[in-house]
Amino acid sequence: MNLCINPNCDKPQNSDSNRFCANCGSELLLTGRYRVLRQLDSCTSGDTYEVREVGSDICKVLQVLTVDKPQVVESFEKTATALKAIDYAGIPKVEANDYFVYFPRDKAVQLHCLIMQKIEGLNLYEYLAQSNNSHINEQLAVKWLQQAVNIIQQLHNHNLLHLRINPSNFIVKPDDENLALIGFAQPHIQQSENVTYKPNIAYTPPEQIHGNVVPQSDIFAVARVFAFLVTGKDPSKHLDIYEPTLNEPSPNEKTWRHYASQISPKLLDLLDTMMDEVPMQRPDTDSILKILTSQQAPFIELPNSVKPSLSIKWGKFEINFLLSWVLATITGVMIGGLIGFIIGFVTEFMVGAITKNVTIGYISGGAIFGLITGILVGAAQSLVLHQHDYKYKLWMLATILGFTIEGILSVLTGYGAKGEMIIIPSFAVGIFQWLVLLQYVRRAYWWVLVSSVSGAVGIGVYKGVQYFLGNAYSIFGGILGLVSFGLITGVFILLWWGSNETKKYSKISIQSN
């Protein structure tokens, strides 16, 4: 059998002697070297084939990208470049000339292609199905976990994330029974795109479901795979025991652990930590390997560096983030407040005159003031968060809504009449931003308190400058108050997230069965 890879060809089967497709006329001998033997998998963004080089008995895997979007193609190319540079036993090898662009005869679409080593063996589903036991023992779990984390570390060192880790993509090699990871070069396509590819939700961390990915996203998936291996309970079928909040009153109850009686509590603790809902609470690859190599099960200890702690390792990333955050807050509030004040004043006058109701005019003016201030602050803060890989969706919308409510309250209560509103995105903003943070961090309710206290401190600084230096220094006091607000909120964000998510990664997604 000789297959045509033209996605528009409705009769791709050809005889081995054909050089061109009998149906569409596309060339069958890819780059003059490879014949396509059979299709292994297909999804909305590409197809996977088994190929063999002419004159060789060794089969390889061909990944074909059928989506011709610049961003997706760029991700595919970066994947190919990285895999060429990686030489590791648990990762498929890619040769120098095995990335190419193929043009079918109809030239309806150009196909980006990547050929890589085919790793033979059983995937983890097949391994458990064929073994005498429904789960693995602790010795094998520690051995394989070390191998899996080493593989992930190799990817992360080359700025790649896997993002589709599940038992189907781990292969047990028959020669040494070591693990390998497969399924590369299937680009990640966000749900907002016209073309989508759904991940295996049971092995997907919560932040990835919401469109945010960090190195710890792969850590979560690895741990979920090993929780399956030691329990024999596939999360795809038994998600309730891994996420008890789905149907249990006690979210702290780790039901899945009840099915792993052969595993020491300390190894289970490590897997639990790797599956933490909050990415920054999960250990990185170095920490996990240090645990696994320094102490053998069942004497696995979690070092303090892995346990949650309120500390910041100050480096270039942290300082850059904090300065950017403070600057964004100052410029957003000052510029937005000035524009909002002018337009709000005009709106207050016009609406009051039209409705002949002073109160409605006040409310309209306050709402416009808060709306415009919120737009500038939300846009500036969202930009800083995005640049530092804290991709909080709806942050800008939450900030706008909070400021709008604050603007209305300021005119109804008289608060802000002397300039306090220019300084304090306080309680209402904290409430709306808390609703966004709920998706990403544990104990997000603290943000409401932090936002309110920061606002109060900002007002205190502003009033203090006026009191000691006089009204002539009001602008200086306002800026100093905003600096105080930005420092407190910025430091709190860093306390939440730490410094382990600072590197930018190319998003790679891979197929899962």
Range of the domain at 11: 2-117
Q: Which amino acid is at 511?
A: Q
Q: How far apart are CA 215 and CA 97, in angstroms?
A: 29
CA gyration radius, the chain:
28
H helix or E strand, kind and range, residue 115: strand 111-117
- pLDDT, tens digit (0-9, with 9 covering 90-100), for 242-289: 886 544 444 445 689 888 988 888 899 899 999 998 898 899 999 999
| Residue among 106, 273, 115 nearest 184 (CA) | 115
CB count within 10 Å of CB 460 equals 13
Q: Of the ranges 17-31, 299-313, 420-434, which is most confident?
A: 17-31
Of 253, 277, 309, the residue that ends a domain is: 309
507 in a structural domain: no
For residue 196, what is the DSSP state?
Answer: -
Q: Are 2 and 36 in contact (CB under 8 A)?
A: yes
Instruction: Kindly state the average pLDDT of the residues 340-347.
Output: 90
DSSP codes, 399-412: HHHHHHHHHHHHHH
C-alpha 42: how far from its chain's center?
24
Question: Among 270, 293, 309, where does a domain finish?
Answer: 309
Q: What's the mean per-residue pLDDT of the chain?
A: 83
pLDDT digits (tens, 9 = 90+) for 64-121: 998 888 888 888 888 899 999 999 999 999 998 899 999 998 877 889 999 999 999 9
Contacts of 145 (CB under 8 A, 6+ apart): 222, 226, 288, 292
- How confident is the model at residue 11, as a pLDDT? 94
- 89 domain-assigned: yes
What's residue 116's pLDDT?
Answer: 95
Please report the pLDDT score of residue 195 as a whole number. Answer: 33
Residue 37 in domain:
yes
Structure tokens at 28: 């069958």
* 340 in the same domain as 244: no
- pLDDT tens-digit series, residues 23-45: 999 999 999 999 999 998 887 77
The total of other beta-carbon atoms located within 10 Å of residue 37's CB is 17
* Token pair 């800026």: residue: 479
Write the pLDDT tens digit of every residue in 215-255.
999 999 999 999 999 999 999 888 888 886 544 444 445 68
Tokens of 205: 């961390």
3-state secondary structure of 43: strand
- Whose CA is closest to 510, among 276, 8, 210, 169? 169
Q: Is residue 253 part of a domain?
A: yes
Q: DSSP string spanning 46-66? A: EEEEEEEETT---EEEEEEE-
What token pair was written down for 418?
A: 């002397």
With a CB cutoff of 8 Å and minimum separation 6, the contacts of 42 are: 48
Q: How far is Cα 37 from Cα 50, in angstroms, rounded to an integer?
A: 6
pLDDT over 80 (residue 338): yes
Are both 194 and 340 inside the same structural domain? no
Would you say residue 220 lies in a domain?
A: yes
Q: Which of 59, 4, 43, 50 is nearest to 27 (CA)?
A: 4
Contacts 24+ apart (CB under 8 A), 260-264: 260/135, 260/227, 260/230, 260/231, 262/135, 262/137, 262/138, 262/230, 263/138, 263/141, 263/230, 263/297, 264/138, 264/297, 264/298, 264/299, 264/300
132 & 281 share domain: yes
pLDDT recorded at residue 220 = 96
Tell whether 449 and 344 lie within a shared domain.
yes
The confidence score (pLDDT) of residue 224 equals 96
pLDDT of residue 192 exceeding 60? no
Q: How far apart are CA 275 and CA 204, in angstroms?
A: 10
Within a domain: 509: no
Both 479 and 414 in a single domain?
yes
Task: Show the tokens assigned to 131.
Answer: 């073994």
Contact between residue 227 and residue 242 where contact means Cβ atoms under 8 Å apart? yes
Q: Is residue 378 located within the same domain as residue 475?
A: yes
Contact 280, 306 (CB under 8 A): no
The pLDDT score that the predictor gives to residue 301 is 46
pLDDT digits (tens, 9 = 90+) for 451-507: 989 988 988 898 898 889 988 888 898 899 889 999 999 888 877 654 333 333 334
Statement to judge: residues 106 and 127 lie in one domain: no
- Rounded CA gap, 275 and 447, in Å? 23
pLDDT band at 171 (very low <50, low <70, confident <90, very high): very high
At residue 182, the pLDDT reads 92
Q: Would you place residue 297 in the very low, low, confident or very high pLDDT band (cuts 50, 70, 90)?
A: very low
At residue 386, the pLDDT reads: 78
The pLDDT-based confidence of 136 (bands split at 50, 70, 90) is: very high
473/333 same-domain check: yes
Q: How far apart are the first and last CA of the chain?
A: 24
Average pLDDT score over residue span 114-141: 91
Among the candidates 59, 87, 117, a domain finishes at 117
**Residue 293 pLDDT > 60:** yes
Residues 440 and 380 in one domain: yes
103 and 15 in a common domain = yes
Quick one: pLDDT band at residue 1, thresholds 50, 70, 90?
A: confident
Q: How confident is the model at residue 314 (pLDDT cuts 50, 70, 90)?
A: low
pLDDT of residue 218: 94
pLDDT band at 392 (very low <50, low <70, confident <90, very high): confident
95 shares its domain with 217: no
To which H or E segment does residue 337 belong? helix 316-355
For the cut 50, the answer to whether the pLDDT of residue 18 exceeds it is: yes
Which position has the higher pLDDT, 45 or 374?
374
- Output the pLDDT for position 512: 34
DSSP H helices in 158-252: 206-209, 215-231, 239-242
C-alpha pair distances (Å), 332 with each of 392, 395, 399, 401, 459: 18, 14, 11, 15, 17
CATH number of the domain residue 167 falls in: 1.10.510.10
Look at residue 209 in the predicted model and tell me its pLDDT: 85
Over range 149-177, report the average pLDDT.
Answer: 91
DSSP state of 142: H
Dihedral sign of CA atoms 188, 191, 196, 201 in order: positive
Q: Is the pLDDT of residue 131 over 70?
A: yes
pLDDT at position 324 over 90:
yes
> Which pLDDT belongs to residue 253?
57
Same domain, 93 and 141: no
66 domain residue, yes or no: yes
What pLDDT is recorded for position 165?
A: 92
Residue 155: which of 127, 183, 113, 177 has the closest Cα?
Answer: 183
Distance CA 505, CA 188 (A): 12
In this structure, of 39-48, 179-188, 335-344, 361-370, the range with the lowest mean pLDDT score is: 179-188
Provide the domain count of the chain.
3
* Strand residue runs (E) in 238-278: none
pLDDT of residue 294: 64
Give me the pLDDT at residue 43, please. 75
pLDDT of residue 184: 80
Is 512 inside any structural domain?
no
Please report, for the domain that includes residue 18, its CATH number.
3.30.200.20
